[in-house]
């Protein structure tokens, strides 16, 4: 499956009190409002890794909604972008 040429991939590493607070389930729930694919997972160092692909506007609003809903838990979010890979078919908890 190939991604549309306008689709982007956003990769975000969240720090703070982001594990054990429902972060992944919240991200999955919010993803249902948008046309996004990818995953969210906990990392051994206490961070959360999120990768989302889709149209820029969809992914940016998705990430903004996550930031708003988890604002009291996130102390840092390091984000990078790239062209979408097109290899994800849904957004899931990994």
What are the beta bridge partners of residue 41?
49
Q: Residue 80 has which token pair?
A: 């990078």
Catalytic status, residue 73: no
Marked catalytic residue, from 17, 33, 42, 73: 42
Q: DSSP labels for 17-70?
A: S-SSSSHHHHHHHHHTTSS-EEEEEE-TTS-EEEEEEEEHHHHHHHHHHHHHHT
* d(C-alpha 85, C-alpha 45), whole Å: 26
Marked catalytic residue, from 17, 24, 26, 32: 24
What is the set of active-site residues?
24, 42
């Amino acid at each position: 499956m190939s991604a549309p040429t306008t689709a982007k991939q956003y990769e975000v590493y969240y720090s703070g009190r982001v594990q054990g607070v429902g972060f992944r389930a919240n991200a999955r729930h919010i993803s249902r409002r948008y046309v996004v694919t990818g995953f969210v997972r906990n990392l051994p160092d206490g961070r959360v890794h999120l990768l989302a692909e889709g149209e820029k506007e969809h992914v940016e609003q998705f990430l903004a909604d996550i930031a708003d809903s988890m604002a009291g838990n996130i102390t840092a979010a390091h984000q990078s972008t790239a062209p979408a890979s097109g290899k994800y078919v849904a957004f899931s908890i990994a």
